[in-house]
Every structure is written in structure tokens, then in C-alpha cells.
Amino acid sequence: MKIQQQSVIPVFAGDLNRTGLDKTSIKHAFLDHLFFLQGKFPSIATFNDYYMALSYVIRDRLLHRWINTAATYTRQGSRTVAYLSAEFLMGPHLGNNLVNMGITSTTRDAMKELGLNLEEMLGQEEEPGLGNGGLGRLAACYLDSLATLEMPALGYGIRYEYGIFHQVIRNGKQVELTDKWLRNGNPWEIARPEWTVEVKFGGHTEPYTDEQGRKRAHWHPDRVVMGVPYDTPVLGYRCNTANTLRLWRADAPETFDFAAFNQGDYYRAVESKVVSENLTKVLYPNDDAVQGKQLRLEQQYFFVSCALQDMIRIMFLQRLPLDKFHEKYAIQLNDTHPAIAVAELMRLLIDEHGLGWDESWEITERTLAFTNHTLLPEALECWSLPLFKKLLPRHLEIIYEINARFLDRVRIWCMGDPDTVARMSIIGEEGERTVRMAHLACVGSHSINGVAGLHTELLKTSVLKDFHDLSPAKFSNKTNGVTPRRWIVLSNPRLAALLDDTLGEGWAKDLETLRQLEPLAEDAEFRARWRDIKRLNKLDVAHHLRKYTGVAADPDSLFDVQVKRIHEYKRQHLNILHIIALYNRIRQDPDADIQARTFIFAGKAAPGYHLAKLIIQLITGVASIVNRDPLARGRLKIIFLPNFNVSNGQRIYPAADLSEQISTAGKEASGTGNMKFSMNGALTIGTLDGANIEIRDAVGKDNFFLFGRTAEEIATLQRQPAEFIDSNQELQAVLQLIRSGLFSQGDPALFQPLLDSLMHHDPFYVCADFAAYSNCQQQVSKVFQDKELWARMSILNTARMGWFSSDRSIQQYCDDIWKLSPVKVQLEGSDGIGFLQSLQ
């Protein structure tokens, strides 16, 4: 596509009222969009039409900032970080953009004058669920912080047509429905077909010697797929920076299978189009064990190649020479999913742009940095070598060469010890030969980081020990953070208003300011206001729970919440075993003194993870018995809210009293939900795992309910589950109740696999930690009865969570890894139009 370079067309028609931020302009623009863009007027418009019209109104108001940001970076050739991630779990855009622009209440008033309710309109947005959980959501928080800190950044990922499945519960079981998030259109993205790139797959390579006598290779692919970019603006909080999230959709080449088409085989030709488009059709819904599926490797290579080609295009546009690639860009690999970037950047530099090996290697290593998010061995990506070779023959050659050179170094370092060499090789030789993506990422990066203190230490001493011993200076820790804009300002407006009132505006950009709340923990009046807010938030969520599950929750009961992906290591079953124990206490002694609690669960299980799905069934099975038992009425309620996603998170975190962070120590890399809860004043019951450790250090050990064995104790524990069961009558009774069929409509076989796992292997030490958990919960109940004490602890949690803002994490990445500084975006003249005109 031809782009007009020099133009006499003005940048802008000059009607700046079109993007005014006052109530009248917003109202006017809203009706304008409804009429001209959607062809609707109020008496025939649907609710979605209203949502779309308002979104376009807000997008219009972003565009100045967005275009000026891009123009500023282009003019200055700014150093930029490219965050490569197979997942971006952005959550709904409309509310967040209103917050960041500072026009929520004006917009609410404007809509009200038109007889519309802003909150209802926000609820209309189909959230883009382009991620599984923590990793994808972290990427979204980091984009928000990058824009807020005015850092030049690009997010690169995949525009899945279907995001994470929609979860419904039928007969107590999880059922997966497709997530058709694009069905009503997506007002936040702009397609950029003019920047389409080609991505090659398969075929074979052919060696040749170039004019300078250098050995080179031609890649003859047997398939080409087009990558079409879709851009979404990412606006910073109360600043002019609007960075870009660029997601790629796979498309068939224009001349799709012409041979077939010319022979009149129209269906075969169309079929090839379908195959190409399949590439970005659906997000893999696994958050644990990786699936070695060819399509997944295709997705990874596809978006990485698109991103790197796009970055090179931008350099050429800015007239920068390619040997400065590492000066122009820092690339962060969000786990190993984009690790093929090591080989692809080498291929682009050498094969496509004629650079030499050594120079290309230096550029690659200086550009790339790698974040690891897990220690679970089943989550480490290893691709079958034959599959890899079939799909990416040229990359395999490059990887062999990288590996040969790397292992030469290793051999000298370890004095030729064959075990060390075999352990460190990028190619795994035990059993089926594989390409180990974590090794590739480590070898090709100048920086390797974990996502919490304990996690980084364990990386250095276990999974990546050899790499740490070889290059200790490459390793650092970057504890995760979350954005207070979405996770306080947007999700907890009552708390945000109190903070504005107490601290003045500005805390959301400088979260350490929250520390000024500390003395107010001793102020009875402030504590009363604090409690009122929590109660209103609980009422809101109770209303939502009632509407979507039919179960009523008493806002005066303790809201005890565990929301996250369902996984054995996260131990939702430890929680439900304890609930059964409480229930059994009531049944054994109807007068037992038990703190009234509402247990709230939410989370998706990977569709093929049978035990996780069984845990959901156990939760709903226990709920259906306990919630109907008159003896438990007013004391225990259990609610499983289906389809946990960003929107539901926004409702739930602010309403929690107690946050369950009870993973087996050493298994949860960091956790980020733990931070969202605590910032919103929930107290944590948790193990010494992931970022819990740092949260406890920050809020103070008196304000955190700690239980369970440490990672070290777990690693050396020799005892069998039977020993813990035999010595604990309450646990025995609980297991017996499950075995009886009480929670499975009389079917004693249903939960047998779960019982077998717990009683015979207990791989996640549920039985080993049960007694400690149960005792700790008793302590929680006791403290909750002292309303003043609980409020004090809650205030101190919020006050001391400033460090967990993703702004702090991102500042550390910028300083230590990316060497990135802020670039101010000016909206000169009439909102930046003058500046843009000057570029013409």
C-alpha cells in the first residue's frame, strides 16, 4: 500500500470543540457518533450502540495524545522498550480511559442528562480476555505504568479472535463456552493493514556462499502467512503519553493458492485461507502444563516475527542504521513464549539484512532480556525437535550454531564435565530430542529475572542454577506490581475518594504517599469511615453474587475470598477442606462458636485439567449442602462465582475482608492478586510463598496471618500424608464426609481421584499444612470479632502497600535492565495540532 509522504492536506479540520472535555461537548459528540457512525437515534438504539458511541467519543479524545506521542518518538528517535507477550489481559478499556483522562464524573453527568447510566454502559463492554491469568494481567499493568511514567513503549502480542473461554457452571461443573469478544465490534482498535508483514513457515534451507565468501543460507518456505497489525492506545494516567499495544492477526496472502484457484478448485483455495486464519483463532487456555501443539509454536513464531519486522521497519522509517538496533530497542521476553526471538532476530539481521554472525549476536544479546514466571517443571517449554525442524528449519540451524558456540564456552568453564554440558545444552537429549526454550532465552539475553524475591532465589539455585553459576551478573529480581489506577481508582471509587480527601490527589501516581495513612489507623472516626466503605463494597458485591448465583451473602459476615486460576498448587482444596471442617463442627455441636463467614471462590480450570475441575465440583457440591442446611444458616455461606475475569476481579477485591494466598511454599512465583487485595484493605491469610513474603515484610507481621511450612521445610519433608491424617481427627472426618458421597449426590466414586491424590501422594502438602491452616483461621475469626483491631490492621495494609505499585516495578526495569528514560509528550498549540503540522 502506498503512503502519501508529503501532503497538502491539513492534519486536522480545525474543529477542536469536537474533542472538548466538558459536559456539553461530550453530550454533543455522543449524539453525533450515534447518528453518523452507527446510523441510530435514541428510540431505536440498543444498549450496545450507546456503549459504542461513548467509546468512540472517548477514543476521539485520546487520538491527539496518541498521534502526538507517536510523532514525538519518531522525531526524537526515542529509545523504546518492546514488551513481547503472548498474552495481554487488558480488561475493559472504557472505564480505565475515563479514569486516566480524568473525565469520569463529567462523563457520568453528560450521560445522566441524556437519561443514561454510565455504570450500566461500562458493564456493557465485552472485555478482551486475551490472557490466562497472572502473566497476561501483569503485561497489562506494565503497559499502564510505562505510559504513566512517560516511557516510550510498544506492547506486541496476538489478536486472538477467541480469548480465554467463558466459564459457566452447570450441575456444579465447569462448562467452557467460546469467548466471542469481537462479535459486536471493538471500538478501541485501529487496523493498520499498510504495515502488514509476511511470516514464513516450513520448507527447507539451501546453503550458499556470498560475494564476500561468507557461508549463508536461503530459506525456501512452503507456506507464507500475513500478519496484520491492530493498534490499541494505552493512555497514561493524567499525562499526554499514549503508547501502543500492537496485536497481530493472521491472514492469508492476497494471492492465496493461486494454482488451485486457477484450476477452478475454489474450495481448496479457500481452505488455505482458513488454515492461515486459524493461526490467531484461539488462545490456549492452559495456565500450567504447556501443550506441545504445533499451532502454539506457530502462534509464538508468528507474533515474534511480526514484532521484529515491525521494529526494523520503524528504524528504517526513522533513518536509523540496523547496527544500532540495541540502542534503539530493549526487548523484554515475557516468559519463554516469545523466546524464539533469539533465533529470529539473528535470522533477520544475518539472512535478510546481510550482517555478520558476531555483530548480529552482540546486537541480539544486548537487546534481549528474559523474565521467568514459573518454577513448575511441567510449565517449562520444550519443543519436539522434529516438529521444530519441520516448522522452522532455518531457525533450528541458527540454534545449533548458537548452541555449539555456547557449549564451547561452557566446556572451558566446567573443564569439560559432560553432565554440565548436557544439562546446559539448548537441545535436550534425554528421551525425545527437544529445543529447550528457557535455555535459548537465557543464552540469548543479557538479563534474566524472576518475579519475586523467593522466586528469583529459587531460580538461581534450582531450574536455572547452571546459568546462574556461569553468569551470575545476568540475574536480578524484579518483584511484580499492580497498577493502582485500575485496582484502586477504577475498582474502588469509595476508597479512592477517601484517599483523595485525606491525602489530596496524586497518590495514584505516587503510591508511597499511602504511608501517610498510618497514623490514621489510630483515629476512631477514620476507622469508622474505613469500615463503612468496606461494608458498602460488600453490599455491592453481595448484590452481584445474588444476581449471578442466586445465593445471598450477609454483608456483616466475614468475606473470605479465594479468586485465581484453579490449580492444585494454589490449594483451593485446602480451603474447602477447612470449610467442611467448620461445617462438621456445627453439625457436631449446633452451639459451636463459629464466626459467620461468606466464602467466595472464583476461577477457571484448564479444560483438560481433571483434578482442577474436580476441585470446582467439590466446592459447588459443598456449597449446595451447606447453603441449604438450616443449622449453617447465618453462619456459613459458600459461593462460587462463575467466569472470573478482570471485570469480576474489580468487583471482588474491594469487597474482601480476608484474602486467601495459600499456595504450597515455593510454588507460586509471585502472585499479583495478593497485592490487589491488600491494597484494598483485605488482610491476608497466607504461606511464605512468592510475593506474600514481601507483602508480609511490608505490612508488618502483626498485620498478616501466616501459616504453613516454608519452601525449605517442604523440600526436605520426608513424612507421608497418612501420618498427618492419622494424627488429625478433624481431617479424618472431613475426608470421610467427602468419601461418603454427601457432597456428590450420593456418588462416593466422584471425588475418589482427589481423595487418592490427597491421601496417597499429596503432592502439594495439603494434609501437611491442614492443621496449621485450621489454627490460623481460628486466629482470623478471633481478630475479626474485634472490629477496631481489624480496621486498624486493614488500614495499615493499605498504607504500607505503596511499594507494590507496578510503577515501582517498571521503574526498576527501566533503570536496571532497559536503561530507559522518560520522554515528555507536549500537546503544543491547539492540542498538538501545530506540532503535527510542523512535521508535514
Selected catalytic residue, list 364, 672, 687, 798: 672
570 counts as catalytic = yes
Cα 658 to chain center, whole Å?
Answer: 23
* Binders of ligand F58 in range 480-539 (CB under 6 A): 480
Cβ(335)–Cβ(410) under 8 Å? no
Q: How far is the CB of 227 from ligand F58 (least distance, A)?
A: 20
* Nearest residue to 617 via CA among 638, 631, 587, 586: 638
- Decide if 676 is catalytic: yes
Candidates 396, 669, 796, 810; binder of ligand F58 (CB under 6 A) is 669
Q: 604 CB contacts (<8 Å, ≥6 apart)?
A: 164, 165, 167, 174, 285, 565, 566, 643, 644
Site string for ligand F58, 120-139 (x = CB under 6 A): ------------xxxx--x-
Q: Which residues pair with 828 in a beta bridge?
A: none
* Nearest approach, Cβ of residue 582 and ligand F58 (Å): 28
Q: Does the protein bind ligand F58 through residue 690 (CB under 6 A)?
A: yes
φ, ψ dihedrals at 625, nearest 5°: -80, -50
Indicate the SS3 state at residue 751. Answer: coil
Position 645 contacts ligand F58 (CB under 6 A): no
Backbone φ and ψ for 84, nearest 5 degrees, come out as -95, 120
Q: At closest approach, how far in Å is the CB of 106 from ligand F58?
A: 35
CB nearer ligand F58, residue 307 or residue 669: 669
**Range in contact with ligand F58 (rule: CB under 6 A) among 35-43, 141-149, 371-379, 809-817:** 371-379
Range in contact with ligand F58 (rule: CB under 6 A) among 96-104, 411-419, 670-678, 704-712? 670-678
The residue annotated as part of the active site, out of 166, 564, 604, 667, is: 564
340 binds ligand F58 per the rule CB under 6 A? no
Catalytic-labelled residue, pool 326, 565, 567, 573 = 565
- State which of residues 349, 379, 489, 577 lies at the interface with ligand F58 (CB under 6 A): 379
Q: Which amino acid is present at 428? A: G
For ligand F58, the closer of residues 251 and 668 by Cβ is 668
Which stretches does DSSP call E strand in 399-555? 427-428, 434-436, 447-450, 475-477
Distance CA 3, CA 15 (A): 25
564 is catalytic: yes
Choice among 23, 93, 326, 373 that is catalytic: 373
Shortest distance (Å) from residue 671 CB to ligand F58: 5
Binding status of residue 34 toward ligand F58 by CB under 6 A: no
Q: Which of 69, 240, 299, 374 is close enough to bind ligand F58 by CB under 6 A?
A: 374
Q: Bridge-partner residues for 448, per DSSP?
A: 370, 475
DSSP percent split of the chain into helix, strand, coil, nearest 5: 50, 15, 35
Closest CB to ligand F58 among residues 464, 496 = 464
Contact between residue 85 and residue 157 where contact means Cβ atoms under 8 Å apart: yes
What count of other Cβ atoms lies within 10 Å of the Cβ of residue 254? 8
Examine residue 578 and tell whether it contacts ligand F58 (CB under 6 A): no
Quote the least distance from Cβ 477 to ligand F58, whole Å: 12
Chain positions 137 to 196 lying near ligand F58, rule: CB under 6 A, are 138
Looking at beta carbons only, is 91 or 393 nearer to ligand F58? 91
Burial call 29-48: b when 16+ CB within 10 Å, e when fewer: bbeebbeeebebeeeebeeb
Sign of CA pseudo-dihedral 584, 589, 591, 595: negative
Gyration radius of the chain over CA positions: 28
Compute the CA torsion angle 110, 114, 117, 122 (nearest 10 deg): -70
Of 59, 373, 527, 676, the residue at the interface with ligand F58 (CB under 6 A) is: 373
Give the orientation angle of helix 729-740 with respect to helix 572-588, to 10 degrees. 100
Span interacting with ligand F58, options 250-258, 662-670, 710-718, 822-830, rule CB under 6 A = 662-670
The grid cell for 466 is 547452571
Q: How far is the CB of 466 from ligand F58 (least distance, A)?
A: 22
Which DSSP helix (H) or strand (E) runs through 234?
A: strand 223-235
Q: Closest approach of Cβ 669 to ligand F58, in Å?
A: 4
**H helix and E strand count, the chain:** 34, 23
C-alpha cell at 147: 505510559
Q: Which is nearer to ligand F58, 341 or 553 (CB)?
A: 341
671 binds ligand F58 (CB under 6 A): yes
Q: Does 670 bind ligand F58 (CB under 6 A)?
A: yes
Q: Reply yes or no on whether 604 is catalytic.
A: no
Residue 290 CB, nearest distance to ligand F58 (Å)?
Answer: 5
Shortest separation between residue 39's beta carbon and ligand F58, angstroms = 41
**C-alpha span between 776 and 63 (Å, rounded):** 52
Q: Give the C-alpha separation, 485 to 650, whole Å.
A: 11
Nearest CA to 136 out of 245, 243, 298 is that of: 245
| CB-based closest residue to ligand F58 | 134
**Residue 156 DSSP label:** E
The least CB distance from residue 135 to ligand F58, in Å, is: 3
Q: Which three cell numbers stand for residue 276?
A: 492461515
Cα–Cα distance between 681 and 539 in angstroms, integer? 16
User: Residues 266 to 325: which contact ligand F58 by CB under 6 A?
Assistant: 286-287, 290
Which lies closer to ligand F58 via its Cβ, residue 347 or residue 478?
478
Residue in 108, 486, 570, 597 annotated catalytic: 570
Residue 672 a catalytic site member: yes
The residue count for binding ligand F58 (CB under 6 A) is 19
Q: Rounded to 10 degrees, what is the CA torsion of 487, 489, 494, 495? A: 70
Question: For residues 462-481, which are near ligand F58 according to CB under 6 A?
Answer: 480
Residues annotated catalytic, as ranges? 373, 564-565, 570, 672, 676
Q: Give the residues lining the site for ligand F58 (CB under 6 A).
A: 132-135, 138, 286-287, 290, 373-374, 379, 451, 480, 668-672, 690
